[in-house]
């Protein structure tokens, strides 16, 4: 009998793998009642380790939270449990969701199942790799600036970032609250549809969540808006995939129309000002007193205790962002950074609104390059940030976006994404299904379908956080 964790030894998608624990949770009746027997009954899934599942750990990829066990379950996960789906484990991520490669995880990185010399993308890299490997048919992630779509693209699977507010954030550890949403990674659009229709909807425990009402398309023939990408250099592999996708869409009957999104050029800076500002506030609670490993021996000196707990427990990228966020919010300087960033945010929202009066969907690459190598041969942290340009636009505007495997270039998957107006998730799914019917893509070479029970034996699994 094979063990998922044995098979995961090379990829390191999971931080915790415990299907038994998940099965216990799935068997507990809740006040919202059981709705089992449907297509998700008994289906295993993985959860990014910044989303709470009771009795599982909730490390957020941070050494500071190594020992935190969640006392409660996120609404999105609970809705899946109510339909009989089984959370089998928690997946690796860049610490608190900050990054694009899992290299910022406090527990070591995850490797790309298509090529172990490359990153799986991030921050939900563990979720994407677990799905690409076939460990689970779907996984939950979070998308603040691309963290569901970019790893999905790097691992050759689908990644849905829903409309802001469509899925409750209750139980998602906040990084940048006004930008993020729980999203889904899967190998099949039909699975995304099933999971999305399960987890969406208003939740009294998240006041930014909204009731769902689908945005229907009125035009008969779908028109796809294609923005001018002139000022943003695409690497060869993405350029080639972009041209193939445009050509492919035309061939299967989509109408293409040029659109303008001039604010795109200012978006990355504005995104990082807003994301870091919100992060500096959201992460204040991880101080070694309310949450997090406490530096021993300083109970009489709380200031020193907090300083030491944070400087030992948090990684460099997280510290950098807390400092940046504190800097842009300091008194007297808000106009210069934060308010300017908000104005750019309004501009991109208006530009999309304008575009969607003439088109049904917008097509963009997910990332300017394909899956890059890890370590010094890869992308430095600054270039990784600049490369968030295409993904963070949907977060800044609150729009739904779906990344799909568009082509394989030099043996590696390249993803493109459709964006739509609020609540147009179904439209995005249908467009991807249409594309996949004509241009099906191979699974990653290491993919193996799950066995008849949907998952594999888990006996004797070592704890990935130890050692
Ligand atoms: N790469 C982006 C960042 O580091 C996106 C992260 C995310 O969506 N959580 O902020």
Q: How confident is the model at residue 220 (pLDDT cuts 50, 70, 90)?
A: confident
Q: Which of 13-22, 281-290, 317-326, 399-408 has the lowest mean pLDDT?
A: 281-290
| pLDDT tops 70 at residue 291 | yes
Active site residue 123: yes
Q: Report how far residue 372's alpha carbon sits from residue 382's, in angstroms, rounded to the nearest whole number.
A: 14
| pLDDT tops 70 at residue 370 | yes
Q: Report how far residue 84's alpha carbon sits from residue 40's, in angstroms, rounded to the nearest whole number.
A: 6
User: What is the CA(272)–ligand 1 centre distance, in A?
Assistant: 9
pLDDT value, residue 457: 44
H or E element in which residue 280 lies: helix 267-282
* Three-state SS at 388: coil
Least Cα distance to 42 among 452, 447, 459, 449 occurs for: 452
| The CA-based dihedral angle spanning residues 235, 240, 246, 250, taken in that order and rounded to the nearest 10 degrees | 180
pTM of the entire structure? 0.95
Active site residue 309: no
* Three-state SS at 431: helix
The contacts of residue 105 (CB under 8 Å, 6+ apart) are 61, 92, 93, 94, 95
Report residue 92 as tokens: 């690796």
Nearest residue by C-alpha to atom 5 in ligand 1: 145
Q: For residues 245-256, give the mean pLDDT.
A: 97
Q: Report how far residue 305's alpha carbon sits from residue 310's, in angstroms, rounded to the nearest whole number.
A: 8
Question: What are the residue ranges of helices labelled H in 36-124?
Answer: 75-82
**Nearest atom, ligand 1, residue 271 CA:** 10
| pLDDT tops 90 at residue 2 | no
Among 101, 123, 168, 407, which one carries the catalytic annotation?
123
Q: For residues 252-265, give the mean pLDDT.
A: 96
Domains and CATH numbers, the chain: 8-216+400-435 (3.90.1300.10)
Q: Report how far residue 62's alpha carbon sits from residue 282's, in angstroms, rounded to the nearest whole number.
A: 15
Q: Which of 36-50, 238-252, 288-302 has the lowest mean pLDDT?
A: 288-302
Report residue 86 as tokens: 């089984």
Among 62, 105, 142, 147, which one carries the catalytic annotation?
147
pLDDT value, residue 397: 98
pLDDT value, residue 461: 44
Q: For residues 338-342, give the mean pLDDT.
A: 96
Instruction: Report pLDDT digits (tens) over 406-419.
Output: 999 999 999 999 99
| Residue of 91, 102, 120, 122 best suited for mutating to test ligand 1, as the one with most atoms within 8 Å of CB | 122
Active site residue 48: yes
pLDDT value, residue 34: 62
User: What is the CA(327)–ligand 1 centre distance, in A?
Assistant: 19
Q: How confident is the model at residue 5 (pLDDT cuts 50, 70, 90)?
A: confident
Does the beta carbon of 309 lie inside 6 Å of ligand 1?
A: no
Which of the pair, 388 or 216, is modelled with greater confidence?
388
Which of the pair, 73 or 1, is modelled with greater confidence?
73
pLDDT value, residue 6: 81
| pLDDT tops 50 at residue 266 | yes
Q: For residues 292-303, give the mean pLDDT.
A: 83
Q: Report how far residue 92's alpha carbon sits from residue 442's, in angstroms, rounded to the nearest whole number.
A: 25
User: What is the CA(188)–ligand 1 centre distance, in A?
Assistant: 24
Q: How confident is the model at residue 293 (pLDDT cuts 50, 70, 90)?
A: confident
Q: Report how far residue 342's alpha carbon sits from residue 329's, in angstroms, rounded to the nearest whole number.
A: 13
Instruction: Report pLDDT digits (tens) over 31-90.
Output: 566 666 789 999 999 999 999 999 999 999 999 999 999 999 999 999 999 999 999 999
Among 48, 79, 161, 385, which one carries the catalytic annotation?
48
Q: What is the C-alpha radius of gyration for the chain, rounded to an integer number of angstroms?
A: 21
pLDDT value, residue 144: 98
**Nearest atom, ligand 1, residue 175 CA:** 9
How confident is the prediction for the chain on average, in pLDDT? 93
Q: For residues 367-391, give the mean pLDDT.
A: 97
Does the beta carbon of 125 lie inside 6 Å of ligand 1?
A: no
* Three-state SS at 224: strand
pLDDT value, residue 32: 61
| Residue of 125, 127, 169, 275 best suited for mutating to test ligand 1, as the one with most atoms within 8 Å of CB | 275
Which CA distances in Å does 341 have to 232, 317, 397, 399?
20, 21, 13, 18
Q: How confident is the model at residue 231 (pLDDT cuts 50, 70, 90)?
A: confident
Does the beta carbon of 98 lie inside 6 Å of ligand 1?
A: yes
pLDDT value, residue 460: 40
| pLDDT tops 60 at residue 259 | yes
| Residue of 145, 176, 275 best suited for mutating to test ligand 1, as the one with most atoms within 8 Å of CB | 145
pLDDT value, residue 459: 42
| pLDDT tops 70 at residue 455 | no
Q: Report how far residue 181's alpha carbon sits from residue 145's, in angstroms, rounded to the nearest whole number.
A: 10
| pLDDT tops 60 at residue 225 | yes
User: What is the CA(419)–ligand 1 centre distance, in A?
Assistant: 18
Does the beta carbon of 414 lie inside 6 Å of ligand 1?
A: no
Does the beta carbon of 325 lie inside 6 Å of ligand 1?
A: no
């Amino acid at each position: 009998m094979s063990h998922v964790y044995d098979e995961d030894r090379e990829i390191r998608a999971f931080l915790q793998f415990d299907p038994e624990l998940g099965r216990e949770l799935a068997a507990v009746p809740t006040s919202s009642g059981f709705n089992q027997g449907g297509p998700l009954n008994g289906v295993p899934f993985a959860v990014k380790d910044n989303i709470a599942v009771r009795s599982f750990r909730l490390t957020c990829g941070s050494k500071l939270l190594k020992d935190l066990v969640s006392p409660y379950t996120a609404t999105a996960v609970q809705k899946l449990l109510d339909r009989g789906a089984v959370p089998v484990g928690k997946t690796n991520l860049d610490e608190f969701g900050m990054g694009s490669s899992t290299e910022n995880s406090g527990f070591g990185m995850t490797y790309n199942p298509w090529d172990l010399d490359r990153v799986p993308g991030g921050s939900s890299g563990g979720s994407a790799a677990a799905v690409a490997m076939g460990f689970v048919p779907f996984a939950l992630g979070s998308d603040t600036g691309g963290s569901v779509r970019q790893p999905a693209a790097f691992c050759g699977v689908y990644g849905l970032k829903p409309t802001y507010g469509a899925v409750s954030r209750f139980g998602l550890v906040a990084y940048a609250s006004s930008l993020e949403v729980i999203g889904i990674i899967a190998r099949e659009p039909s699975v995304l549809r099933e999971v999305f229709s399960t987890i969406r909807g208003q939740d009294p425990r998240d006041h930014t969540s909204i009731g769902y009402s689908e945005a229907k398309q009125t035009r008969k023939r779908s028109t796809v808006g294609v923005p001018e990408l002139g000022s943003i250099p695409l690497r060869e592999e993405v350029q080639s995939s972009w041209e193939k996708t445009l050509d492919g869409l035309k061939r299967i009957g989509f109408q293409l129309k040029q659109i303008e999104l001039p604010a795109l050029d200012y978006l990355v800076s504005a995104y990082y000002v807003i994301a870091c500002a919100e992060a500096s506030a959201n992460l204040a609670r991880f101080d070694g007193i309310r949450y997090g490993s406490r530096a021993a021996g300083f109970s009489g000196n709380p200031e020193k205790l907090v300083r030491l707990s944070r400087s030992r427990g948090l990684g460099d990228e997280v510290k950098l962002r807390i400092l940046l966020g504190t800097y842009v919010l300091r008194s007297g300087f808000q106009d210069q950074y934060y308010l300017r960033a908000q104005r750019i945010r309004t501009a991109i929202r208006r530009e999309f609104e304008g575009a969607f009066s003439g088109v049904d969907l917008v097509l963009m690459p997910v990332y300017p390059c394909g899956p890059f190598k890890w370590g010094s041969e890869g992308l430095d942290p600054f270039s990784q940030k600049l490369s968030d340009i295409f993904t963070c636009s949907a977060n800044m505007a609150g729009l739904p976006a779906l990344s799909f495997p568009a082509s394989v270039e030099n043996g590696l998957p390249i993803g493109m994404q459709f964006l739509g107006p609020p609540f147009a998730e179904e439209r995005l799914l249908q467009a991807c299904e249409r594309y996949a019917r004509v241009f099906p893509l191979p699974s990653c070479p290491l993919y193996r379908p799950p066995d008849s029970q949907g998952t594999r034996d888990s006996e004797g699994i070592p704890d990935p956080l130890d050692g």
